[in-house]
Amino acid sequence: MLKNDRWIVARAAEGMLEPFQPDLVRQLPSGGPDAGLGVLSFGCSSYGYDLRLSPREFLIFRHVPGTVMNPKRFNPANLEPAPLHRDEDGAFFILPAHSYGLGVALERLRVPPTITVICLGKSTYARLGIIVNTTPAEASWEGHLTLEFSNSSGADCRIYAGEGICQLLFFEGDPCDTTYSDRAGKYQDQPERVTMARL
């Protein structure tokens, strides 16, 4: 069953999402340095939660002639950090045309033991050709999700930090015999930094 906003708010009060935004934010509130700034929505929606992209790190795969990417021997030298820019529209990274990048969620997620979370892209970015890889977070997974982005368009694209980047959907199932935490999954407890591919 897909869980609703009431369930998400109740679980967040128990520590499922930190920091947690109980309402969907489309404009920054008054009182801050960016008061009134329109943002890509983040926070709790009817049947999901829109995560924010952390400003801490965004890495872009670069072309290294003669290099073949190998998930069994991941080479972080194929990644280069993207600088964080800022102007009147907000803080952003630039994902070049026809490239692939890695970012990390600002919120820390603690998945309950009978829940699996699916992470989907936001339609605003999809309309620009930005594809967010569909990422699952299994029962009892904890940490900051590493997020994967593909720019399928022929133009460079801004990816805004501190604003909505993807939506989480929470699905409840029958209790499983072994959770992600029980089997000490290799991506458990990720920090607010990009986590590289692991074997």
Residue 198 covered by a domain: no
- Residues 83 and 108: their CA atoms lie apart, in Å, by 23
Give tens-digit pLDDT for 10-23.
999 999 999 999 99
Q: What is the pLDDT of residue 12?
A: 98
Residue 199 covered by a domain: no
Question: At 73, is the secondary structure helix, strand, or coil?
Answer: coil
Pick 31 or 192 by higher pLDDT. 192
- The CATH number for 89's domain is 2.70.40.10
pLDDT score of 76 more than 90: no
Q: How many CB atoms lie within 10 A of CB 63?
A: 7
Residue 164 covered by a domain: yes
Residue 148 bears catalytic tag: yes
Q: What is the pLDDT of residue 35?
A: 74
Q: How many domains does the chain have?
A: 1
Q: What is the pLDDT of residue 182?
A: 87
Residue 193 covered by a domain: no
pLDDT category of residue 113 using cuts at 50, 70 and 90: very high
Residue 79 covered by a domain: yes
Residue 188 covered by a domain: no
| Domain extent at residue 48 | 5-172
Element at 5 (helix H, strand E): helix 5-13
- Residues 105 and 18: their CA atoms lie apart, in Å, by 11
Q: What is the pLDDT of residue 29?
A: 77
Closest CA to 58 of 84, 22, 36: 84
Q: Of these residues, 18, 80, 88, 148, which one is catalytic?
A: 148
Give tens-digit pLDDT for 125-158.
999 999 999 889 999 999 999 999 999 999 999 9
Residue 115 covered by a domain: yes
Q: What is the pLDDT of residue 74?
A: 84
Residue 180 covered by a domain: no
Give tens-digit pLDDT for 16-61.
999 999 999 998 877 767 777 899 999 999 999 999 999 999 999 9
pLDDT mean across residues, the chain:
92
